[in-house]
């Protein structure tokens, strides 16, 4: 099922083009510092974020922290630019070799600078939500938006409140559908 989701996501990124009107909407939603981060995303990542943002709006979800998190949830990926082969490899490994994929995604104590690109891609897949939350905090998002970005790939957090878990559910559903 996850492979089909990723195949559909890949197909969308190849053919999905973002119109100038969408960029204006995003710019109105984000602060200048947040917009600067969003602008650093690769075009396919921007299109993916805008697709989630539009889905949430279409569903009537207008919570500003949810919308900011939708647009910035993948900014942790700014730490390493994955190519399409690395993305495909991660999807296959996570589906076929989940234990190894998790192990390959662990961050070595001495850093990751000297690691090969394929390994960095696994580390990025595992840690981009946390890194993105840190970048978003530095760009001035609210604590709730930061928590949504941090939690967008994880199951519901028992320590989180009802509002946070509700918004996380909405973000994950839109993300999984984009």
Confidence of residue 178 (pLDDT cuts 50, 70, 90): confident
The residue count of the chain comes to 178
Q: What is the pLDDT of residues 111-121, one digit of tens each?
A: 888 999 889 99
Q: pTM score, two decimals?
A: 0.86
Q: How far is CA 111 from CA 38, 87, 107, 129, in A?
A: 26, 21, 7, 18
Note down the domain range covering 138. Answer: 2-176
Tokens coding 143: 């604590």
Q: What is the pLDDT of residues 23-64, one digit of tens each?
A: 899 999 999 999 999 999 988 899 999 999 999 999 999 999
| CA–CA dist 111, 56 (Å, integer) | 37
Work out how many domains the chain is built from and give that number.
Answer: 1
Average pLDDT, integer, range 141-157: 88
DSSP string, 124-164: HHHHHHHHHHHHHHHTT--HHHHHHHHHTTSPPPTTS-HHH
């Amino acid at each position: 099922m996850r492979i089909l989701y990723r195949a559909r996501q890949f197909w969308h990124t190849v053919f999905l083009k973002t119109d100038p009107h969408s960029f204006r909407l995003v710019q109105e939603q984000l602060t200048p510092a947040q917009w600067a981060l969003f602008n650093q995303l690769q075009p396919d990542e921007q299109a993916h974020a805008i697709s989630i943002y539009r889905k949430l709006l279409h569903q009537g979800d207008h919570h500003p922290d949810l919308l900011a998190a939708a647009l910035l949830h993948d900014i942790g990926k700014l730490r390493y630019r994955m190519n399409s082969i690395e993305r495909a490899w991660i999807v296959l490994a996570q589906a076929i070799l989940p234990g190894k994929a998790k192990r390959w995604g662990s961050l070595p104590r001495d850093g990751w600078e000297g690691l090969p690109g394929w390994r960095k891609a696994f580390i990025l897949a595992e840690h981009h939500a946390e890194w993105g939350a840190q970048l978003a905090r530095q760009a001035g998002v609210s604590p709730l938006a930061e928590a949504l970005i941090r939690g967008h790939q994880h199951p519901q957090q028992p320590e989180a409140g009802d509002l946070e878990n509700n918004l996380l559910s909405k973000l994950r559903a839109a993300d999984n559908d984009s």
